[in-house]
Chain A
Amino acid sequence: MDTISQGTSEALTLLVSLDPGLYSIILLSLKVSCTAVFISTILGVPAGAFCALRRFPGRQAVIAALNTLMGLPPVVAGLVVYLFLSRSGPFGFMGLLYSPSAMVMAQSVIALPIVAALTRSSVASVDPAVRETAITLGASGAAADRRVVAEARQMVFAGIIAGFGRTMAEVGAVLMVGGNIAGYTRVMTTAIAMETGKGSFATAIALGIVLLMVAFAVNILLHLAQGGARTWAWR
């Protein structure tokens, strides 16, 4: 109990004193995860919507692959990115291994199927009469498609938030391709794992508190999205 209470007390001191080492880890975590989710959104939302709205050869196989990849083990994502970025890999010449860019790639690989698959199922669940109505009101085919996606926006947003939650909590892949280098690639999850191993609980607990707060914020956003957030004025 002493360890827990003492660690928590020291953790709060670190948080309140705005410890630069601690906050640089927090900021890097947010930066990497936000960038990865941004990339996943840019690619995943159109891809998911396309799968929902269009018929093309191999569509069912693509949908099955997306659904399968939603449960992709992070270490497998890390392994794939590692193999591509390692010196002997096809992109080894770029020298990105053990960099924040490599961590963004790994997290994007994890978040992209989540965003794409949830977008697909959200858009597919929209009443087909929505598209017909848009067409009868004079919308072009592309505009009618956008209307359908807009009707599913709350669930699409929930998918993006779910992807963000997954990347923030992820440790295996970023450890493999980032290397947990202090001041460069160390993020909250890898730092917690390392500090706990060292028996340095204050920093681990402080970061754990922040992770919990982020998880709480993600849950609030998810709740708002599913409850009918009106912040998207997208036609």
Chain B
Amino acid sequence: MGMEIALSGVSRRFGGRAALSGIDAVFPAGRVSAVIGPNGSGKTTLLRILARLDKPDAGTVTYLKGGHPVADGISLMRKMTLVAQQPVMFNTTLRENVAYGLNARGIPREDVCERVDEALAAGDMAGLASARAATLSGGESQRAALVRAYALMPDAVFLDEPTASMDPDNTALAERLIMRMCEEHGATVVMVTHNLFQAKRLAGHVFFMFGGELIEYGETGRIFGRPEKELTSKYVSGEVVC
């Protein structure tokens, strides 16, 4: 079951620059949410804060499962995962990479093998299971990172431009994997993307950010069809916003 994630007044500064300013938002449980916006709008900072890799200077992030808050700590960290835009693959085989998170979570060995095999098959990477992860191409690494996340069956998964290095075929495969995480495992997916078509295809909700602020968010059909803010309207229609 996915987690609902609620942000209240979340701000983050780096030096004198505000990366995030007073973000109030709710990422619904068990749905795909797309975070869109131009470079430097704070999308990656937001993902890192959601994944507990960074702390906000002000504001709170609350994780709710079944309506109850989930306590902070390692148990919360083990309910979620993040796939970076340029994912790091450990210097082991692909199979060992996929198994790493399951072993870290203390999953029994026989279950680990089963889930690794299932994840590799889902990502069409079974043939590369014994390959050194370091030898994978950029697109394969991104797909492998998604497979690694898929194997964990997390309650929440944060994706930073998960298909940026992929060709159309691999993008389609990756998108199926993302949807399976959401539909089969009930994961809450928060995905940063510059691909508006991808946001339309996958997301139930869209969050538009600009200059560290959350300009507008809502259901995908409304954000793309009837945006309330002029800036959102310009961005989703492909105009340059700066």
By a beta-carbon cutoff of 8 Å, the part of chain A in contact with chain B is: 127, 129-130, 132-140, 143, 147, 150-151, 233, 235
Q: In whole Å, how far is B157's beta carbon from the nearest beta carbon of chain A?
A: 10
B240 at the interface (CB under 8 A from A): no
B38 at the interface (CB under 8 A from A): no
Instruction: Verify A151–B91 contact, CB threshold 8 A.
Output: yes
Least CB separation from A148: chain B residue: B90
Instruction: Verify B87–A133 contact, CB threshold 8 A.
Output: yes
Which among B75-83, B193-201, B205-213 touches the partner chain?
Answer: B75-83
Instruction: Verify B81–A134 contact, CB threshold 8 A.
Output: no
> Inside 8 A of A140's CB, which chain B residues have their CB?
74, 104
Subset of 30 A-B contacts with CB under 8 Å: A127-B88, A129-B84, A129-B88, A130-B88, A132-B53, A133-B84, A133-B87, A133-B88, A134-B100, A134-B104, A135-B53, A136-B51, A136-B53, A136-B80, A137-B104, A137-B152, A138-B74, A138-B77, A138-B78, A138-B101, A138-B152, A139-B100, A143-B104, A147-B90, A150-B90, A151-B90, A151-B91, A233-B92, A235-B92, A235-B100
A233 to B100, alpha carbons, bound, how many Å? 13
B234 at the interface (CB under 8 A from A): no
Q: How large is the interface on B (under 10, 10 to 19, 20 to 34, 35 or more residues)?
A: 20 to 34
**Given A132-B53, A235-B96, are A138 and B88 also a contact pair (CB < 8 Å)?**
no
The A contact surface, by secondary structure, is helix
Knowing that A130-B90, A140-B74, A235-B96 touch, tell me 10 more A-B residue pairs with CB under 8 angstroms.
Answer: A129-B84, A130-B88, A133-B84, A134-B104, A137-B100, A138-B101, A138-B105, A139-B100, A147-B90, A235-B92
**Given A132-B53, A235-B96, are A139 and B88 also a contact pair (CB < 8 Å)?**
no
Q: In whole Å, how far is A69's beta carbon from the nearest beta carbon of chain B?
A: 30
B39 at the interface (CB under 8 A from A): no
Q: In whole Å, how far is A144's beta carbon from the nearest beta carbon of chain B?
A: 9
A127 to B84, alpha carbons, bound, how many Å? 14
Instruction: Verify B81–A137 contact, CB threshold 8 A.
Output: yes
> Inside 8 A of A130's CB, which chain B residues have their CB?
88, 90
Q: What sequence of 0s and 1s flags, for each residue 98-120 of chain B, a beta carbon within 8 Å of any chain A beta carbon? A: 00110111000000000000000
Instruction: Verify B90–A138 contact, CB threshold 8 A.
Output: no
Instruction: Verify A235–B74 contact, CB threshold 8 A.
Output: no
Least CB separation from B96: chain A residue: A235
B31 at the interface (CB under 8 A from A): no
> Inside 8 A of B88's CB, which chain A residues have their CB?
127, 129-130, 132-133
Query: Which residues of B from 46 to 105 have beta carbons under 8 Å from A?
Result: 51, 53, 74, 77-78, 80-82, 84, 86-88, 90-92, 96, 100-101, 103-105
